[in-house]
């Protein structure tokens, strides 16, 4: 048995408020604990999005009632909430900026809308960018101009990891995360998620898209540039994934650690690499407390197949169905309480704490 610190996932789409048929604070925090994750940072692209005091309260009230692991909630950067977001910074995980995709009220159509956020959001509070490819280059230039740290979400391309490496070498304050699906899915992925033809393709929709083998190889070759692993847990139901307009996103909370432990077993990573990227670095980058008496017990030798039917996420599927992994979470202790034991969730809804209070 191996003992790990409580893992931190800085990138989780909880779906509450607004889309609780996909997931909610209760189910997502159960999935987290089953995956060895004791603290999640929740993304703001809910319905409504989290961008002011009223919507922040909406998310935090639901979390307070339902969460079974610790958490904080991100604010979204919108076209005219820079002052509000800055004043709410102490209550939030940080500020999330969607610089590529358009997300209703969180739309930042041109770069002049980025400026007030870079000027006003406190420099010691985390700013996270959804910025791909050339937009990422622009975000890094903003970090240099305004001389403030930024964290880049879900890096997936060779050109991106090389850019971040160069920026770090110049002393620009940039950190980044990579999601397991971008490390483990070759393109085309093998084995394909269950589902044939168009069905399989809908399930494979994710942003950033699954990349080429050369990109996957570049991520592995530049592991030292990757500060954190993060799931980008983005649950959608199977009916939605197999439907007409499949929404992008994979669930990931329950599969991240087993996949990484399998890579450790294969000699591609060390346990210390994992602890650094799922505990030490996210704690530092996002300014998170260290809960006392919190740890995860893992059976390193357990070999099994990933099965959606055994997961706690409400979405009911996983892109890793049938993958053979080695390493299983047996027990999770959070703030002195056993909260997960041998497949069972033991913390009650509401046990989770907001770490920004
Ligand atoms: C995210 C989601 O579903 O909320 N999906 C994803 O593929 N990562 C939204 C997004 O970041 O595009
Ligand atoms: Zn995301």
Residue 262 in domain: yes
> Mean pLDDT of all residues in the chain?
95
199's tokens? 């069905």
State CA 71 to chain mean position distance.
12
Report cis status (omega within 30 of 0) of the bond before 281: no
Q: How does pLDDT run across 11-47, given as a tens digit for each residue?
A: 999 999 999 999 999 999 999 999 999 999 999 999 9
**What percentage of the chain reaches a pLDDT higher than 70?**
95
Number of domains in the chain: 1
Contacts of 121 (CB under 8 A, 6+ apart): 82, 85, 86, 89, 95, 127, 148
**Domain around 185:** 2-345
Question: Which phi and psi angles does 308 have, rounded to 5°?
Answer: -60, -35
pLDDT attached to residue 192 = 57
Q: How far is the CA of 170 from the centre of ligand 2 (A)?
A: 28
Spatial contact of 241 and 202, defined as CB atoms under 8 Å apart: yes
User: What is the model's pLDDT at position 71?
Assistant: 99
Dist. CA 217–CA 262, nearest whole Å: 17
- The model's confidence at residue 186, banded by pLDDT at 50, 70 and 90, is confident
Quick one: pLDDT band at residue 200, thresholds 50, 70, 90? low
Look at residue 207 and tell me if it is in a domain.
yes
The mean pLDDT of 289-311, rounded to a whole number, is 98
The confidence score (pLDDT) of residue 47 equals 97
Reply yes or no on whether the pLDDT at 117 is more than 90.
yes
The CATH number for 23's domain is 3.20.20.140
Q: What are the pocket residues of ligand 1 if the criterion is a CB atom closer than 6 Å to any ligand atom?
A: 13, 45, 101, 130, 206-207, 232, 234, 247-249
Annotate 27-58 with DSSP letters as a single string. Answer: HHHHHHHHTTEEEEEE-S-SSS---SHHHHHH
What are the beta bridge partners of residue 285?
none
Task: Determine the atom of ligand 1 nearest the C-alpha atom of 235.
Answer: 3
**Domain assignment of residue 355, yes or no:** no
pLDDT of residue 124: 97
Residues 273, 193 contacting (CB under 8 angstroms): no
pLDDT of 191 strictly over 70 = no
**What is d(CA 287, CA 282) in angstroms, rounded to the nearest whole number?**
8
What's the pLDDT score for residue 188? 56
- Stretch 235-244: mean pLDDT: 95
What per-residue confidence (pLDDT) applies to 101? Answer: 72
Give the mutation target among 231, 247, 251, 313 for probing the ligand 1 site: most ligand atoms within 8 A of CB: 247
DSSP-assigned letter for residue 178 = E
Contact 9, 40 (CB under 8 A): yes
Q: Is the whole model's pTM more than 0.95, yes or no?
A: yes
> Tokens 């980008």 identify what position?
232
Structure tokens at 28: 């997502």
pLDDT at 103: 64
Of 4-18, 202-216, 326-340, minimum mean pLDDT range:
202-216
Rounded to the nearest 5°, which phi and psi values hold at 295?
Answer: -160, 165
CA of 252 to the centre of ligand 2 (A): 11
In a domain, 31, yes or no: yes
Average pLDDT over residues 158-182: 98
- Ligand 2 ion: nearby residues, β-carbon < 5 Å: 232
| Residue 191 within a domain | yes
pLDDT of amino acid 199:
52
The ligand with the least distance to the CA atom of 236 is 1
Question: Quick one: average pLDDT of 203-229?
Answer: 96
Q: What is the pLDDT of residue 106?
A: 82
Domain assignment of residue 350, yes or no: no
User: What is residue 354's DSSP assignment?
Assistant: B
Q: Which helix (H) or strand (E) holds 217?
A: helix 213-221
- Specify if 169 maps to a domain: yes
Assigned domain for 29 exists:
yes
User: What pLDDT is stored for residue 331 in this prediction?
Assistant: 98
Instruction: For residue 130, give the ligand 1 atom closest to its CA.
Output: 11
**Atom number of ligand 1 nearest to Cα 232:** 8
For the chain, helix (H) and strand (E) counts, in that order, are 13, 14
Q: Looking at the CA of residue 98, tell me the nearest atom of ligand 1.
A: 11
Centroid of ligand 2 to alpha carbon of 182 (angstroms): 13
Instruction: Give the model confidence (pLDDT) of 59-75 as tens digits.
Output: 999 999 999 999 999 99
- Under the banding of pLDDT at 50, 70 and 90, the label for residue 201 is confident
Question: What is the predicted pLDDT for the residue at 109?
Answer: 79
């Amino acid at each position: 048995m191996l003992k790990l610190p409580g893992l931190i996932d800085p990138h989780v789409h909880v779906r509450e408020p607004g889309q609780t048929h996909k997931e909610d604070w209760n189910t997502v925090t159960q999935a987290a604990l089953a995956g060895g994750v004791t603290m999640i940072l929740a993304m703001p692209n809910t319905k409504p999005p989290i961008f002011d005091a009223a919507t922040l309260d909406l998310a935090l009230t639901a979390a307070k009632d339902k969460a079974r692991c610790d958490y904080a909630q991100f604010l979204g950067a919108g076209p005219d909430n820079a002052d509000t977001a800055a004043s709410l910074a102490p209550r939030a995980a940080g500020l999330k900026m969607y610089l590529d995709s358009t997300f209703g009220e969180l739309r930042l159509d041109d770069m002049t809308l980025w400026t007030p956020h870079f000027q006003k959001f406190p420099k010691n509070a985390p700013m996270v960018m959804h910025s791909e490819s050339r937009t990422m280059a622009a975000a890094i230039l903003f970090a240099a101009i305004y001389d403030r740290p930024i964290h880049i979400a879900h890096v997936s391309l060779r050109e991106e990891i090389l850019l971040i490496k160069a920026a770090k070498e110049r002393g620009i304050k940039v950190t980044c995360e990579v999601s397991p699906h971008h490390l483990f899915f070759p393109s085309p992925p093998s084995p394909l998620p269950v589902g044939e033809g168009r069905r399989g393709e809908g399930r494979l929709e994710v942003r950033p898209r699954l990349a080429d083998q050369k990109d996957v190889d570049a991520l592995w070759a530049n592991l030292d540039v990757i500060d954190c692993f993060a799931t980008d847990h983005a649950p959608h139901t199977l009916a939605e994934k197999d439907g007409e307009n499949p929404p992008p996103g994979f669930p990931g909370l329950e599969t991240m650690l087993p996949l990484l432990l399998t890579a450790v077993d294969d000699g591609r990573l060390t346990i210390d690499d994992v602890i650094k990227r799922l505990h030490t670095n996210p704690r530092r980058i996002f300014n998170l407390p260290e809960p006392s008496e919190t740890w995860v017990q893992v059976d390193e030798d357990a070999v099994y197949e990933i099965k959606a039917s055994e997961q706690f996420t409400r979405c009911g599927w996983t892109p890793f169905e049938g993958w053979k992994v080695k390493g299983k979470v047996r027990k999770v202790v959070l703030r002195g309480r056993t909260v997960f034991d041998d497949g069972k969730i033991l913390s009650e809804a509401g046990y989770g704490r907001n770490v920004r209070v």
